[in-house]
Amino acid sequence: MTDKFKSVFMPPLSQVLINAENKKGHPLSLNEVLSIKNSAVVIIIKKGLQQELPGDQDEHDIDPENCWHDWQVLRRSLGRKPNLDPDFNNSFNLSYEDLHMQATIHTAQKNLYELRELVKTEPKAKAILKYTLSDHESKAHTWLSLLDSTDTSFRAQVINLPAGFHDHKIGEIICLRDSEVLDWMVNLEGYIYGAYSLKELRHAMNEKEKEDFDKRLGVLQYMD
């Protein structure tokens, strides 16, 4: 497709998901959101003609490459319950060139036993792992949703993709060894365990930035 054309969901993907969740009567699962996105009607139009289409074609509609995150953010803005954690988009794709940030990798891996214990004993625990995702010559530190684990490895699911990544897809399952985990975080109803790289990032912020950062993560307390 040339840069003169663009893909548009018809009707908008946000409306399709809202209708599907209304019909179900309960929050859509990740696999349901992906299935709906993959089966939704897409048309190809010339750029600049979107305003001529019928219906509400929002320029800022759900990004199909980050549909799970965007859908949860939209649900939150609509006040839908239960309020599901949208996880992280890739604005938290941190650099590990800093020595202090590199040290967080060692701490995260050293404390993986705590992650395993939390997900084993706390049914409401929501865990994510940070992993280096490769796409041709590009690499990005990306958060994955933890599915399960063994004593030496994890299975996790891709929930967001960095811009320009095409070798992977949302919903893809990735198996990673303990040594490949860059960071981990468990959100237990606002009580945050792990998140070593995020806490290092937060350390350099002023009080207002910390407040905004914590609100975005849904933090009640960091459990050091």
Express each pLDDT in 138-149 by its tens digit. Answer: 888 888 999 999
pLDDT in tens, 14-32: 999 999 999 999 888 877 8
Q: Break the chain into its structural domains and give their ranges.
A: 5-77, 90-222
For the residues 44-57, what does the mean pLDDT come to?
58
Mean local confidence (pLDDT), 125-151: 89
Burial degree of 164 (CB within 10 A; 0-12, 13-18, 19+): exposed
Ordered DSSP codes for 100-165: HHHHHHHHHHHTHHHHHHHHHH-TT-EEEEEEEEEETTEEEEEEEEEEEE-SSEEEEEE----TT-
Six-digit token string for 134 = 């490769």
Tokens of 164: 């320009």
From residue 120, how far is each of 115, 117, 128, 155, 213 by CA, in Å? Answer: 9, 5, 14, 14, 28
Phi, psi angle pair for 151, to nearest 5°: -70, -20
Q: What span, in angstroms and rounded, lies between the C-alpha atoms of 118 and 202?
A: 23
- Pairing verdict, β 183-188 and 126-135: antiparallel
**In the chain, % of residues over pLDDT 90:** 36
Is residue 159 scored above 90 in pLDDT?
A: no
Q: Quick one: CA dihedral 131, 132, 135, 138, positive or negative?
A: positive
Percentage of the residues of the chain whose pLDDT score is greater than 70? 85
Please tell me the least confidently modeled range out of 31-40, 75-84, 90-99, 122-131: 90-99
Location of structure tokens 């399952």 = 173
